[in-house]
Amino acid sequence: MAKIHPVILCGGSGTRLWPLSRKSYPKQFTEILGEDSLFQASSRRLSGTGFAAPAIVTGSDFRFLVIEQLATLEIAPSQVLIEPFARNTAAAVCAAALAIDAKDKGGLVLVAPADHVIPDHEKFRSTVHAAVDTALSGQLVTFGIMPDRPETGYGWLELTERPDSSFSPTPQALKGFVEKPDQIKAKNLYEGKKHLWNAGIFLFSTTTILDAFAAHAPDTLKAVQDALEKAEYDLAFTRLDSESWERCDDISIDYAVMERADNLSVVPYAGKWSDLGDWHAVWRESEKDASGTALNGPATSINCSNTLLHATSASQEIIGIGLDDIVAVAMPDAVLIANKDNAQEVKLAVEQLKTKGVAQAEMLPRDYRPWGWYESLVTGARFQVKRIVVNPGASLSLQSHHHRAEHWIVVAGTAKVTIGEDTKLISENESVYVPLGAVHRLENPGKLPVTLIEVQTGSYFGEDDIIRYDDIYARGQGAKG
């Protein structure tokens, strides 16, 4: 059997799961349910017998995070395509199909979002394998989820005939797509037994999908071809050309191709599934007590029912008393309290915060970098205090600053510090001063993380006040490069 090339789309921002998910660190990379992130769980699910190494489509800020999270699973991607900016799923799928086709002409491609919850990996894989012959015959195959409620938050798929009583993964012709319905229509669809939820997961050959783009979205196909031809390659990444990418339509694969094609098939999937699209969905997928209350992290419930209490910091306890149908999410810098039925409106709250210029709208207190992470502890008019953690074997860039000096105090591990022409090791309880304008670098030569407290003094502390002279991560200039 031909190998299936998974394409994992992980460029979304997941604003409906704010404040846990933000633009700087979206939900697919977060451990919401279980020990794996949603991206890691998806990568596990799309691996094993019959699957090739995955291709990843993501944004520049997350490229090292993708590699790091895959490495913990001992999975090496076939390629990582970097979108200059988001252009929805049509352009992303087209780019991945073209890249895979160049290496495996006519190869099978399985497109899946990075943030879905599908606990039964084996059942899902067997459902995908049941669709292989149909995809090889020239069909665009989509997977439909057996509904368990009249859901208004999903699009639906109209079947040609009802699935059999065992709901076996038998391909059939897809009759049509149904947009997200209102409550009355959703009830009719659910009770009619001839509609499935649209999972947004697809299987097709590169030949079939590229022919479909040529027929239904030729401008997008041409723009993506140009973006790949002019792409830049650094380390393990393929940076798609920005100017060409800008010409791509900002449109989903459903609207661009699927709803216009006549060679569509659908395979039912009867296993558990969620797109984890809002906090109501998180509550639904979480373990609950007898009253229907789900607790995550340092949380305490007193006389609550059908409620989610979610806390992320060991130093911050969330307590709910007498709550019913409530979602309460506590983070060190933001708190969300909402009725479960209004969970999808969290996106509106994020937009209001952005309009007000509130940093919490998009940024987490902790900023992740390829070498580790940092968080700001205290900020004043002429100083800032940070905690910095550098991973074993990692290195910050050789850099300097125009507007600030830095004082580093190592509190765990041993750091290798370069300032000008001098290099030395700084161990726990030792410190070093980096004058304003000095060229410097911090490295971790050991096998344990290095933790240090950084005290910055000066007139400006923005992350764009970094001049890089050398960087093992090839990030270029700017806050993140």
Structure confidence by residue, pLDDT tens digits, 288-336:
999 999 999 999 999 999 999 999 998 899 999 999 999 999 999 999 9
The rounded Cα 414 to chain-centroid distance in angstroms is 33
Burial of 356 (0-12, 13-18, 19+ CB in 10 A): exposed
Supply the pLDDT for residue 11: 83
> In sequence order, what are the residues at sequence separation of 6 or more whose Cβ sits closer than 8 angstroms to the Cβ of residue 231?
238, 239, 240, 241
Indicate the DSSP class of residue 32.
S
Supply the pLDDT for residue 256: 96
Nearest to 94 by CA among 236, 244, 273, 279: 244
Nearest to 406 by CA among 359, 438, 375: 438
Could you report the per-residue pLDDT of 122-165, keeping only the tens digit for each?
999 999 999 999 999 999 999 999 999 999 989 999 999 988 87
Is pLDDT at 206 greater than 60 in this prediction? yes
Which one has a higher pLDDT value, 234 or 377? 377
Instruction: Tell me whether strands 172-178 and 156-159 are parallel, antiparallel or unpaired.
Output: antiparallel
CB 291 within 8 A of CB 304: yes
Q: Any bridge partners for residue 331, and if so which?
A: 334
Kindly state the average pLDDT of the residues 163-185: 91
366-470 classified as CATH 2.60.120.10:
yes
Is pLDDT at 1 greater than 80 in this prediction? no
Is pLDDT at 481 greater than 50 in this prediction? no
Q: Which two tokens stand for residue 303?
A: 């006389």
Supply the pLDDT for residue 305: 97
Kindly state the average pLDDT of the residues 70-75: 94
Q: Any bridge partners for residue 143, and if so which?
A: 267
Supply the pLDDT for residue 475: 80
Q: Which amino acid is at 350?
A: V
> In angstroms, what CA-CA distances link 451 with 263, 333, 408, 415, 441?
56, 22, 10, 9, 15
Is pLDDT at 339 greater than 50 in this prediction? yes
> In sequence order, what are the residues at sequence separation of 6 or more whose Cβ sits closer than 8 angstroms to the Cβ of residue 109?
4, 5, 7, 96, 97, 100, 202, 203, 204, 205, 206, 209
Kindly state the average pLDDT of the residues 209-221: 97
CATH superfamily of domain region 4-269: Spore Coat Polysaccharide Biosynthesis Protein SpsA; Chain A (3.90.550.10)
Give the other-Cβ count within 10 Å of 479's Cβ.
Answer: 12
Cα separation, 253 vs 264, whole angstroms: 13
Is pLDDT at 417 greater than 50 in this prediction? yes
> In angstroms, what CA-CA distances link 262 with 206, 208, 258, 378?
17, 12, 8, 59
> In sequence order, what are the residues at sequence separation of 6 or more whose Cβ sits closer than 8 angstroms to the Cβ of residue 17?
27, 32, 276, 278, 279, 282, 346
Q: Domain coordinates of the chain in residue numbers?
A: 4-269, 280-354, 366-470
pTM: 0.90
Is pLDDT at 170 greater than 80 in this prediction? yes
Supply the pLDDT for residue 479: 59
Supply the pLDDT for residue 480: 58
User: Mean pLDDT of all residues in the chain?
Assistant: 94
Tell me how many degrees the CA angle 153-159-162 measures, rounded to the nearest 5. Answer: 110
> Helix, strand or coil for residue 11?
coil
Kindly state the average pLDDT of the residues 95-121: 96
The rounded Cα 141 to chain-centroid distance in angstroms is 24
Nearest to 227 by CA among 12, 11, 58, 82: 82
Nearest to 160 by CA among 196, 110, 212: 196
Could you report the per-residue pLDDT of 451-473, keeping only the tens digit for each?
999 999 999 988 888 999 999 88
Supply the pLDDT for residue 478: 61
